[in-house]
Amino acid sequence: MYRYLTFLAVVVVAVIGFFGVQGKQSKDTPVYVFDDMDYQPKYKPQGENTFFADGRDARPAVAGTVARGTGLEPLKVFSEEYRRAESLNPSFATGKDVQGNFIADFPAKSLTFLAASELAPFTVDAKTLALGQAKFQIYCAVCHGSAADGNGIMKVRSTLEGDVGIVTIANLQLPLFRAYPQGQVFDVITNGKNTMLGYGDKLTPEERWAVVAYLRALQLSQSCPPNLVPAALKATVK
């Protein structure tokens, strides 16, 4: 009985000692019984690695590698019937023609398949404009403003805080940007320009073209040519 009680007391003290200090702050090096995966034999992004000549953990893609999908649809992209829409309609993904020039108008075809190798038309309709408006308000309006006049909240902030890097925000209502071909606007959204970062990793090609369409609607709303004003509206203005 004495031995049993002694053993029980030791176990109770050990358990209380182990769990009773959990969460206690200390500058001493902790003693790990279970490390809870705090220490793992792995390489971290942007870390150093003396094994490779360039000293980096992160490895560049193998030369000649062509991406297939996003990695979330392996059954689709590795099936025998898979066709890469961007290969059939590169202008939709780049905003440029085969000569490398910016296309003047919107692409005729989208990246949506109607059949095995037939792409659906790309149309600028109410649905496209609604999508463009939603994405413009999320990604563009903060700098360029809701009217695309360059007076977003970041411009206001730069005025108050004197951030000279933000005063470069473009007024997209200027004739310079109105004269951009549609493909050039798409390219700027994709890759950025000057101090603006690109959004090609955040917006799909369809979403980028929708933003282009909505921007054109904003530009038209702020400076509509007289010949496009409906007769009924002209009468009310008079």
- Number of Cβ within 10 Å of residue 94's Cβ equals 19
Decide: 193 and 185 in contact? Cβ < 8 Å. Answer: no
| Amino acid making up residue 149 | D
Beta strand pairing status for 192-193 and 119-121? Answer: unpaired
Q: Count how many residues are written for the chain.
A: 238
CATH fold, domain 126-221, is Cytochrome Bc1 Complex; Chain D, domain 2 (1.10.760)
Question: pLDDT tens across 148-181, in order?
Answer: 998 888 877 776 766 655 677 889 999 999 999 9
3-state secondary structure 183-206: HHHHHHHHHEECCEECCCCCCCHH
Residue 217: CB atoms within 10 A of its CB come to: 16
pTM of structure:
0.67
DSSP 8-class letter at 121: E
Tell me: the pLDDT tens digits for 187-206? 999 999 988 899 998 999 99
Query: Rounded to whole angstroms, how far apart are CA atoms 111 and 216?
Result: 22
pLDDT of residue 68: 74
Question: In this model, does residue 133 exceed pLDDT 90?
Answer: yes
Going by the DSSP 8-state scheme, the letter that residue 109 receives in this structure is E
Alpha-carbon distance 56 to 20, whole Å? 42
pLDDT of 237 above 60: no
**pLDDT (average), residues 26-35:** 73
Reply yes or no on whether the pLDDT at 25 is more than 60: yes
In a 13 Å sphere around the CA of 40, the CA atoms on its Cβ side amount to 6
Query: What confidence score (pLDDT) does residue 58 get?
Result: 85
What does the radius of gyration of the chain's CA atoms come to, in whole angstroms? 29
Per-residue HEC secondary structure of 89-111 comes to CHHHHHCECCCCCECCCCCCEEE
Indicate the domain borders of the chain.
Answer: 126-221
d(CA 86, CA 84): 6
Adjacent-strand bridge partners of 11: none
